[in-house]
Structure 1
Amino acid sequence: MKIVSYRDEAGGSRVGVVVDDAVIDATGLLRPQAGGTSAMRRLLEDGRPLEDILSGLDGDPMPLDDLRLDPIVPDPGKIIAAPVNYFDHKAEMQEAYHVDSLGLFLKAPSSVIAAGEHIRLPYTDRRFDQEGELALVIGRRASHVTTEEALDHVAGYTLLLDITMRGGEDRSTRKSFDTFTPIGPFLVTPDETGPLASLRLRTWVGGELRQDADIADLIWDVPQLIAYASSVMTLHPGDVITTGTPAGVGQIGHGDRVAVAIEQLGRLEVGVTSEGAVACPTKGATTGPRPPATVTPVRAR
C-alpha cells in the first residue's frame, strides 16, 4: 500500500491511498483527535493495523498530479539520523569513525518539506551538499526493542534528502535548517517494499547520477538502527529514522534539481534556491569533516 499526505483546498491536512496515478481520500476513516496533529499522525497513532483502518476505503479517485503534497509526515515528533553508515561514504569524507562509534543525531522536525518544494540555502559563503537516504516511519511505540522485534514497529518506508551544511558546527545544527529534510512522496508499507537488502538507492543533481548504492551495504541495518534508537529514546508513531547516505555527496546550488529514488518507493524531487541568502554568522567553515572537492565517481555495477 502507498499512502500520501496532502492538503485540501482550504489548507486542511488529508491522507489518501495511492492507486495507480490517483489518490482515494482516506481522511474520513480516521478517528477524531485533539491537538491539531496531521492526518498522517492521526492514522499512525490510531493503534489499529493500517490495513484495518483503510479497509473501508471508498470514494472517487483524484489525479495525484492535481494534489498539493505535504511531507509524508508533516509533523514528525522527531527525526533520528545515522551518521556515516556506509563504508564508502566514510572513505570519501576521510572520517575516522562511523555509526558504531558516533551513535545517532537529531534533525529538527521543522526542517521537513514535501516533494516538489524548494531547499532554501541560507548562506552565501558556505558549502551545502545533498545526501540521499532510505527512511522509515515508526508505526508503534518502541522502547528497548530487540533487532528481532524492530521491524514490527515500522509503518512503512519513504525517501529522504538529508541536506547538509559542511563545517565544524554540530551535526544537528548543520542539518536542521528549514527545508533541509525533503521527505516523501509516499509511505510504502513493508508488504510492498520487499526485502530491504534488495533495495537500490540512486540520487541525481541536475540529471547527473551522484549516488548509486545497495541498501544491503549499510553498516548498521534497519533493525539495528531501530533497536539502538529505542534504547536511547522512546520511539512514537510518526517518528522518522533515516539510515544514512552512501558515497557521492556533492555541492548543490541555486537552480539545481535534486532527486532520490528507490524503485519500490518512488522518486522524491525538489528544487534549490539561494534567494535571500546572507553571510553565515558562525565560523566553522574551515573545520569538521572535509568532503571531496569533486563528487566521488559512481562505482561500476
Structure 2
Amino acid sequence: MKLTTAELVGGVRRVVAVQADESLVDLAAMSAGLNLGPVGFPRDMLDLISAGQTMTYFLGLCQEAIDAGRSDDYTLPAGSARYLAPIPRPTKIVCVNSNRANSNVELLEPKWGGVWPRPQFFLKAPSAVIGHEEHILVEPQMGPVQPEGEMCLIIGRQARRLTKENALDHVAGVSLLGDYSASTFGLQDGVILHISSKDGVEDFINRPMARAKGVDTFSPIGPWLIPLTALPDLGSIRLTTDMVDADGKRLTIQDGTIGEQRFTPAEALVTITEWMTLEPGDVVALGAVSNVPGRHLRDNNMAEYHNGAIELHGSGIGTLRNPITVCADGESTSLPPAVMQRRLHS
C-alpha cells in the first residue's frame, strides 16, 4: 500500500492510501465509517507508523476493504489534494555521507585502504522538507546546486544501540529523499586545518554542511511511504535520478542499487543509534547511489534547470518529482503562498 500525507481543501491533513489512478482513500474516514480501527485512528502519519503491529493489522483491513469495493465513500479523485511529505515535519533527518560504491572517498582516507571503518553522517534541517510536486527554489547567490537522490528510512519505533539483527525492526517504511546542496555555501563556510603528523603538516578542508544543505525546499521526501513489510529485500531496490530541462530533455545522473552501497541500511542504523536516539517519524537518508559512469555528481547543477524538474525513481517505491524554479538576479525567492501556509501550520 502506498501511503502519504495529503492536504485537502481548507488545509485539512489526512493520511491517505494512493491508488493506481492516484485517487486517494482517506484512511481515518474509512476506519470510522467501517469500524476498522480505534476511534480517530490514524490522526496523522506519526500516529500510524508508531502503532507497531497495529499498523500492519490496520493496513491489512484497509486493503481488504478497498479490494472489496467498500472504500468508494471515502475516496477522493486524483488531483483533489496537495501531496506533502509522508512525515511533513520530521524531528530530525540523519543523512549518511559518501555511501555510494563509486565515491572517491578513498582519496580522502587512504589510511583505511579506501574503506571507511563506519558510516559517516550529518543532520539536515527539517524545515527544508517539501513534498512530491512541490517546487525547489534556487537563488543565484547559491551558486551551483548539487543534486543527490537517496532512499530513506522512516523510523517507527524508538531506537537506541541497535544491532544488525534488530535494526530494521525499528523501521516503519521507506521513501525517497532529495539531498540537495548549495555547494558554494559549503566552501564559504569552510575552514582550512593545518594538522601536524609524523610526515609533516597536512592540510584539510572542513566544510560545514548546515547552511549548504539546510536551505528551504532542499529536502523533498516522497512520493509515498511504502511499509517495510512490502519491501522485504531493500538491497535490490534500484534508484535513478533524472534531470529534466524545460523542453523535456532528460539526463540520467544516478543509477544504482541499495545493495551496491558501502554500508547496508542496518549498518547505518547501528552506527547512528550508538550515541543518538532515533524517534518515531525520524528520517534516515542512506546516501547517494552510484553516479552514472563518467559523470560526477558535481557535474550536475540544478541552477541550470529553470522551469525543469528533478525526478527520483525507486523500484517498488515510486517517482518523486519536483519542479525547479530559479530566480533571476535581484529577484526574491519568497516562498509561494501554499508553502508559507504549510510552514505556518506545521
Give the TM-score of the pair, scaled to structure 1.
0.83
* Separation of aligned partners in 2, 1:258 and 1:128: 12
1:168-183 superposed matches below 5 A: 168=187, 169=189, 170-183=208-221
RMSD: 2.5
1:40 aligns with 2:45: yes
Other-structure match for 1:257: 309
Relative to structure 1, the CA distance from residue 102 to residue 188 in structure 2 (aligned partners, 3 Å threshold; closer, same or farther) is closer
In 2, Cα distance between equivalents of 1:195 and 1:145: 19
Per-residue deviation at 1:126?
Answer: 1.4
Query: Within 1, Cα distance between the matches of 2:44 and 2:280?
Result: 12
Farther off after superposition, 246-255 or 80-89 = 246-255
TM-superposed CA distance for 1:17, in Å, is 1.6
Structure 2 residue runs of 5 or longer lacking an equivalent are 32-37, 66-70, 190-207, 245-249, 332-346
Which moved further from structure 2: 129-138 or 188-197? Answer: 188-197
Q: 1:269 aligns with which of 317, 321, 341?
A: 321
| Corresponding residue SS for 1:219 | coil
Residue 103 of structure 1, CA deviation: 2.1
Equivalent residue number for residue 5 of structure 1:
5
Sort the Cα spacing of 1:136 and 1:130 in 2 relative to 1 into closer, same or farther, 3 A: same
In the TM superposition, what is the alpha-carbon distance from 1:62 to its structure 2 partner? 2.3
Give CA deviations for 1:4-24 in whole Å, capped at 9, x if unaligned.
110111102210122322321
Does structure 2 retain, via aligned residues, the 8 Å contact 1:38–1:74?
A: no
CA contact (8 A) 2:4 2:15 kept: yes
Identity of aligned residues (%): 29
Does residue 229 in structure 1 map to residue 272 in structure 2?
A: yes
Aligned residue pairs, count = 275
What is the match of residue 77 of structure 1? 91
Counterparts in 2 of 1:104 and 1:31: CA distance versus 1, 3 Å: farther
Q: Return the offset for 1:54.
A: 3.3
Report whether the alignment pairs 1:19 with 2:19.
yes
Alpha carbons 1:255, 1:273 under 8 Å: kept: yes
Distance 1:157 1:116 in 2: 18
SS at match of 1:124: helix
Indicate if the aligned counterparts of 2:135 and 2:324 stay in contact, CA closer than 8 A: yes
Give the letter aligned to residue 301 of structure 2.
Q
- Show CA shifts across 1:119-153 (max 9, x none): 11134351111100011100111111101100101
Which residue pairs with 2:80 in the alignment? 66
**Structure 1 CA distance, aligned partners of 2:125 and 2:39?**
28
Matches within 5 A, 1:6-155: 6-21=6-21, 22-28=23-29, 29=31, 39-57=44-62, 59-60=71-72, 61-90=75-104, 95-96=108-109, 100=117, 103-124=120-141, 126-155=143-172
Give me the whole-angstrom Cα distance separating, in 1, the residues matched to 2:142 and 2:286.
Answer: 29
Opposite residue 221 of structure 1, the aligned amino acid is T
Q: More helix by proportion, 1 or 2? A: 2
Structure 1 residue 165, shift from structure 2 partner: 1.3
Tell me the SS of whatever aligns to 2:225: strand
| Cα separation, partners in 2 of 1:74 and 1:98, compared to 1, 3 Å | farther
Q: Relative to 1, partners in 2 of residues 1:274 and 1:98: Cα closer, same or farther, differing over 3 Å? A: farther
Structure showing greater Rg: 2
Secondary structure, counterpart of 2:230 in structure 1 = helix
What secondary structure is seen at the aligned counterpart in 2 of 1:232?
coil
Matching residue's letter, 2:284: I
Kept in 2: contact 1:41–1:238 (CA 8 A): yes
Q: 1:94 to 1:255 in 2, by over 3 A?
A: farther
Distance 1:222 1:31, change over 3 A: farther
Q: 1:52 to 1:277 in 2, by over 3 A?
A: farther
Q: Does 1:238 align with 2:281?
A: yes
For 1:18-66, what per-residue CA distance to the aligned partner results, in whole angstroms no more than 9, with x for missing partners?
2322321113457669xxx971122223455312233553632323433
Conservation of the 8 A alpha-carbon contact between 1:158 and 1:265: yes
Change (3 A) 1:89 1:9: same
Alpha-carbon distance, 1:67 to partner: 2.3
Contact map agreement 2:118 2:271 (CA 8 A) in 1: no
CA pair 157-15 structure 1, distance change in 2 beyond 3 A: same
How has the CA–CA distance of structure 1 residues 87 and 263 changed in structure 2, closer, same or farther, with 3 Å as cutoff? closer
Q: d(CA) in 1 for partners of 2:276 and 2:89? A: 18
- 1:257 shift after superposition: 0.8
